[in-house]
A = this chain, B = another copy of it.
Amino acid sequence: MNSMHTLLLLMLLYPLEGLSGQTGQVAGQQLNLMPIPAELTPGEGRFRLADDFTITVSGPASDRAYNGATRMLRRLSGRTGLFFHQDFIGPDDTASTAPLELKWSRAGQVILGENESYTVEVTADYITLSTETDIGILRGLETLLQLLAADREGYYFPAIRIEDTPRFPWRGLLIDVSRHFMPVDVIKRNLDGMAAVKLNVLHWHLSENQGFRVESKTYPKLHQLGSDGLYYTQEQIKDIIAYADARGIRVMPEFDIPGHATSWLVAYPELASAPGPYTIERKFGVFDPTMDPTRETTYAFLDAFFKEMSALFTDQYLHIGGDEVEGSQWEANADIQAFMREHQLSDNEALQSYFNQRILKILTKYDRKLIGWDEIFHPTMPTNIVIHSWRGQKALGEAAKQGYQGILSNGYYIDLIQPTDYHYLNDPIPPQTDLTVKEQASILGGEATMWAEFITPETIDSRIWPRLAAIAERLWSPADVRDVDDMYRRLDVISFQLEELGLTHDKNYPMMLRRLTSNTDIEPLKVLVDVIEPVKIYNRPMQREYTSYSPMTRTVDAARADARVARNFRRLVDEYLNERKAHPATGRRFLGFGRKGRSEKVDEMVTWLELWEANHARLKVIIDQSPVLKEIETLSADLASSATLGLEALKFLEAGKTASPRWVEGKRNVIKAARKPRGQVELMVTTAIDALVKAAGGVLPD
């Protein structure tokens, strides 16, 4: 894979005659592919789209390819408004004159390691997409859709040749539907989003303390008593598996055992290590209830259960969770303690490993491979299991050295509201790895985890997207594709394109602001929320106790990870201060804001700071009518006062004067106070303003 070659080519501007964006951009166009393909060669000319555009197919019968092509045609039509003549593409669409030809050699299987490669060739006159499997066809069609461009003459594909293949075979998204249930349409639209960025595993976290989400015909009390009526019927599960399969995506179920299992025990307390009754857990955290691994009845139950689930779910892998077994029920149970002594199980880990070995036997019987979280990694386990690491590359690497395959989720916890570049630069095989090539091959890929303590169907998309697209690139593209600025540039485009799939990450934002303001003018609230983010990592539940029925409609829920306006402002300040460092100011006169002679960067900073400075007065009027906003009133005031400080600092800097240490210290204390989260949200521009204040005092960043 000649990936440096690829990167350099992507930097090339495709010339675009006569187009000038109203935002003053250069008359040019860049490719906006995500993930970036392995190899790419620009060509000459443009393939023009018109109503007479058609697709021809050539390959063994494949509904996956036919339906994928039909969906692609609809999306093209949706974007361009062109009235294509083809209705549903099928085996009869073999006209040799059709401008887009899809060629595949065999039907693919939606299994780990299947060939997903494709070659796209676009010329001015025709397009060919050729692959080994029909799954490759899907991947290539998504690339084509990302290539669509426009000029005054109409829509076109730029001439290009792409040869592409994924770096890792396991590229997944975990969706936790247990802590908050997600209806079928939420899963489906996210499967469409996953397909758009070439992900290939939906890891479906189906059971938890807070809910058991699958209809079981063998043990119907599981869904009847363990789900509050919120579960998937087996028909719905089959429907989702078929939907995913049509998009080349595996659906791997997770049933988390022996811990995280309260909802099972509501229905079947006899499985527990302590007497019941149990009720569905409404809070979040790690809880005592754990299955009893010492009783044969537990295994008889799980055998029949996994027999049913192995028939329902088609994936080769079945995830048994295995994380965070709390242990207190085991320690308090004399029978269990006696069992451990009898079987020479020295500690809880050994007991859990005994349990896992029993489960492995059951799964093997039903032709399923076992995967579980780090905790299942134990010297007594055979190496034919897969380790799913929430602990990190080190744990994964150690397992690899001992012959275990593994996937990474540490660093991809998108529920923790960290910025995109953090996830993007997190590599399952870091550049400095000490693993041998063979050991590296056992690192299968990774999965982003959408844990569901703080999401609902209304907000889940905004937590997944667009950040997941960057993780998808990490897992598909060559390892040296690591340009953060270019990633962010492309991410904006991809994020917008994802909307056509019904994803709500953008459109629910103003809707939530309307609700927060009782449908008055949302603009002042938007100005604030554009520069705040929910608190990170595990701070949200630290600051307030939540249950599974707490409102998820507050400012913190409308706020989004990696707030773009704030990020761009921070970057602007960085660039400005770096420039000053390179070219120190020399006592020039302050020109006044809004006057000629001031740099564009200063103009832009001033525009933002003045907007924020004036915003609180406007927002205050709305807060007074919307009690739900009361919790962020002082935060809004702090944004205004921080902005004032930023403007003052800029005056010093632009006048070439230096502020006194006392001034700097006083102002920095104000900013420090502004940093304090309120309502579980925090201002994301205080660091940048603090840097301006420090610089006003003569201290530029390192």
Contact = CB atoms under 8 A, between A and B. Distances in A.
A4 interface: no
A95 interface: no
A649 B329 CA distance: 84
Interface in A608-625: 618, 621-622, 624-625
A88 interface: yes
Given A496-B514, A507-B508, A521 B184 contact: no
Interface string A49-82: 0000000000000000000000000100111111
Contact of A22 (B22, B549, B622, B628): B622
Contact of A154 (B82, B151, B621, B627): B627
A621 B18 CA distance: 11
A628 B551 contact: no
Nearest to A234: B235
A624 B84 CA distance: 22
* Size bracket of the A interface: 35 or more
A568 interface: no
A552 B80 CA distance: 11
Contacts of A20: 621
Chain A at the B interface: mostly helix, strand, loop or mixed? loop
A228 interface: yes
A150 interface: yes
A78 B551 contact: yes
Contacts of A520: 21-23
A626 interface: yes
Contacts of A81: 551, 553-554, 627-628, 631
| Copies of this chain per assembly | 2
A87 B551 contact: no
A233 B233 CA distance: 12
Contact of A549 (B87, B183, B499): B87
A454 to B, nearest CB: 13
A21 B625 CA distance: 8
Contact of A499 (B19, B79, B457, B514): B514
A185 interface: yes
A530 to B, nearest CB: 15
A515 interface: yes
A155 interface: yes
Contacts of A553: 77-79, 81
A551 B19 contact: no
6 contacts: A80-B627, A150-B626, A496-B519, A504-B507, A506-B511, A510-B510
Closest 9 CB pairs of A and B: A81-B628, A185-B185, A496-B519, A507-B507, A78-B553, A77-B551, A154-B627, A81-B554, A22-B621
